[in-house]
Amino acid sequence: MYNPTVARLTYRALLGRRRALIMFALPALLIIIASVVRALVGPDDDVAAELLGGFALGAMVPLIGVVAGTGAIAPEIDDSSIVYVLAKPIPRSTIIMTKLVVAIGVTMAFSAIPTLIAGYILNNNSQQLAAAYAIATLIASIAYAAVFLLLGTVTKHAVVFGLVYALVWEALFGSLVPGARALSIQQWAQAVVEKVGRGDFITSEVSTATGAVLLVVVTVAATWYAMRRLRVLTLAGEE
């Protein structure tokens, strides 16, 4: 279910493109903000939860997920260079699984590590907030990568749709409309780590069990459908 050559090509495509800059810029921004906040207000659990939940988990992870998830497959489909990978005796499911693993790995690396560092800068992991949010970003990375990888196999405008979902749905509706909040990867990930953090800093619209189940369902369904899409990928002629 994993092909190292496909993985190598995907890593190089992901980290070699200009888009990859956003994956370095967002974590850097998070750490800078954390440092500034710490210097101005000192260690504060409320501020830490606000920043880690609102910015790190709420904006940074989905954005990195969009770049890594769609970037792992969409550009290759777009310019049809994916032909060289598909015209090989390798099951398409293996190609999807491999690209998913790479997208998850990249999203995790660029979101969990900076979140943990920012958490320590903000309040020295007081109330275990840094650990809880780092775990939440790890969990959310899996679901985001799967959803955005699927998006990359479905539409040419994967990045646009991905950004709309990440920014408009998760960030805007998610904070304004209560119903929308229940349908958000960010909320589900928070539900899972609710009990990791001490105190009542981490809350979610859904219960821990519901959040976990929904994350698994979404991840599995998205991956399954992406495999199906790749099996019937067509290349129309240039004529």
Q: Under the criterion CB under 8 A, does residue 198 sit at the interface with other proteins?
A: no
Q: Please give the Cα distance from 15 to 82 (Å, whole number).
A: 17
Q: How far is the CB of 9 from other proteins (least distance, A)?
A: 6
Q: How many residues bind to other proteins according to rule CB under 8 A?
A: 31
- Interface pick for other proteins out of 16, 18, 39, 40 (rule CB under 8 A): 16
Binding residues for other proteins restricted to 157-196, rule: CB under 8 A: none
What element of type H or E holds 217? helix 208-231
Q: Under the criterion CB under 8 A, does residue 13 sit at the interface with other proteins?
A: yes
Q: Under the criterion CB under 8 A, does residue 3 sit at the interface with other proteins?
A: yes
Residue with Cβ nearer other proteins (61 or 85)? 85
Q: Under the criterion CB under 8 A, does residue 9 sit at the interface with other proteins?
A: yes
The CA–CA distances, whole Å, from 28 to 31, 47, 110 equal 5, 18, 10
Residue with Cβ nearer other proteins (179 or 237)? 237
In eight-state DSSP terms, residue 56 is: I
Q: What are phi and psi of 194, to 5 degrees?
A: -45, -45
- Interface pick for other proteins out of 80, 124, 203, 207 (rule CB under 8 A): 80
Q: Which residue from 185, 204, 184 is spatially nearest to 194, judged by alpha carbons?
A: 204
Q: Please give the Cα distance from 168 to 108 (Å, whole number).
A: 22
Q: Please give the Cα distance from 239 to 229 (Å, whole number).
A: 23
Q: How far is the CB of 222 from other proteins (least distance, A)?
A: 21
- Interface pick for other proteins out of 28, 43, 84, 216 (rule CB under 8 A): 84
| C-beta of residue 146 within 8 angstroms of C-beta of residue 105 | no
Q: Under the criterion CB under 8 A, does residue 87 sit at the interface with other proteins?
A: yes
Q: How far is the CB of 81 from other proteins (least distance, A)?
A: 4
Binding residues for other proteins restricted to 90-109, rule: CB under 8 A: 90-92
Which pair of tokens denotes residue 133? 């949010």
- Interface pick for other proteins out of 2, 12, 195, 207 (rule CB under 8 A): 12
Q: Under the criterion CB under 8 A, does residue 19 sit at the interface with other proteins?
A: no
In eight-state DSSP terms, residue 239 is: -
Q: Under the criterion CB under 8 A, does residue 18 sit at the interface with other proteins?
A: no
Task: Give the other-Cβ count within 10 Å of 161's Cβ.
Answer: 17
List CB contacts of 224: < 8 A, sequence separation 6 or more.
none
Binding positions for other proteins, rule: CB under 8 A: 3-6, 8-9, 12-13, 16, 79-81, 83-92, 231-239
